[in-house]
Amino acid sequence: MARRIEHLTTSTWPVQDVYRALVDETYLRDRLAVLGGNDARLVSFASADGTTSYQLKQGVSAEHLPSVAKGLLGGDLVIHRAESWTEAGTTGTVEVTLNGVPGRLDGTTVLAGHQGGSRMTLTGQVKVSIPLMGGKLETMIAEQVAKLLDKENEFTTEWLANRG
């Protein structure tokens, strides 16, 4: 059974500023350098006709993982993340797969105006197909995604302020 995830972050920056950062190749490389972990890199980046798509590789050292994940992975966690954003409506899709885990996260991200700034909402589901362990891993992945999105939101705020 899949676990639903919904996570909301807010920013004092307007929607268009946040959107422009999220589809900026320099921003993505800067964010990966700070938050990407082991062997982080921008795997691909393409922007045409109002749509920007990219793939990221991020890593989490085994020492920072919950014990249930350490036992399953036997090492570091490697995250493969594909995002696609469209300027019309500032909506995006995200797909995340993890090395050594038969599962994925699929979601939609929406940027909208909020109290003079903006808010970003990720809605999706985490599905791990491992008997007995799947539910625990789905919960762990959802919690880790929420923490990562909060850190990315903080990074985006600082990144925009430094370029303002």
pLDDT the model gives residue 136: 84
pLDDT the model gives residue 89: 62
Average pLDDT, the chain: 90
pLDDT the model gives residue 60: 81
CA R_g for the chain? 16
Q: Higher-confidence residue: 45 or 143? A: 45
Burial of 41 (0-12, 13-18, 19+ CB in 10 A): middle
pLDDT one-digit tens code per residue, 33-55:
999 988 999 999 999 998 999 99
pLDDT the model gives residue 94: 95
Please determine, for residue 135, whether its predicted confidence score (pLDDT) is greater than 90: no
pLDDT the model gives residue 133: 79
pLDDT the model gives residue 36: 92
Q: How confident is the model at residue 64 (pLDDT cuts 50, 70, 90)?
A: confident
pLDDT one-digit tens code per residue, 84-129:
999 766 899 999 998 878 889 999 999 999 999 999 999 999 998 8
pTM comes to 0.89
* First-last CA distance in the chain: 45
Percentage of residues in the chain having pLDDT higher than 70: 96
**Short-list 102, 86, 158, 87, CA closest to 134:** 102
